Amino acid sequence: EVQLLESGGGLGHPGGSLRLSCAASGFSFGSFDMSWFRQAPGKGLEWVSAISGSGVNTFFPESKKGRFSISRDNSKNMLYLHINSLTTEDTATYYCARDSPPESHPFFDIWGQGTLVTVSP
């Protein structure tokens, strides 16, 4: 079964950092680009970052450059998101998702169940 499972969420403090993990199974992980999204409580979806299948190329929207980093370990089928200098606005459920094939326009066909990050003093 194709599956993504996030972990690493929890309580963070302003100015601190967190590392989120996403374990992939059931597909050839290294053959797919992967992305992170987040959803603040009661709000919509927001794309946070993406990484190429090889891990060489990373992508961020302008608003996420600087505090966010993405990485992957294809030998372990693991995807990571590092968030530095946490603020209360980072409070959200974070989802990892599998990207569409490279020849396609972007879409995301497999999503994890999400991990909740709460940033509070």
Partner 1 sequence: QSVLTQPPSVSATPGQKVTISCSGSSSNIGTYSVSWYHQLPGTAPKLLIYDDYKRPSGIPDRFSGSKSGTSATLDITGLQTGDEADYYCGTWDNSLRAYVFGAGTKVTVL
**Which residues are at the interface with partner 1 (CB under 8 A)?**
35, 37, 44-47, 50, 59, 61-62, 95, 97, 100, 104-114
Work out how close the CB of 37 gets to partner 1 at its nearest, in angstroms, rounded to a whole number: 8
Work out how close the CB of 95 gets to partner 1 at its nearest, in angstroms, rounded to a whole number: 6
The neighbour count for residue 8, using CB atoms within 10 Å, is 16
Distance CA 117, CA 90 (A): 7
Q: What is the DSSP string of 88-109?
A: GGG-EEEEEEEEPPTTSPP-EE
- Nearest to partner 1 of 88, 100 (CB atom): 100
- Nearest to partner 1 of 32, 108 (CB atom): 108
Work out how close the CB of 48 gets to partner 1 at its nearest, in angstroms, rounded to a whole number: 10
**Strand 10-12 to strand 115-119: parallel, antiparallel, or no bridges (unpaired)?**
parallel
Contact between 113 and 6 under an 8 Å Cβ cutoff? The reply is: yes
Work out how close the CB of 16 gets to partner 1 at its nearest, in angstroms, rounded to a whole number: 26
- Nearest to partner 1 of 9, 114 (CB atom): 114
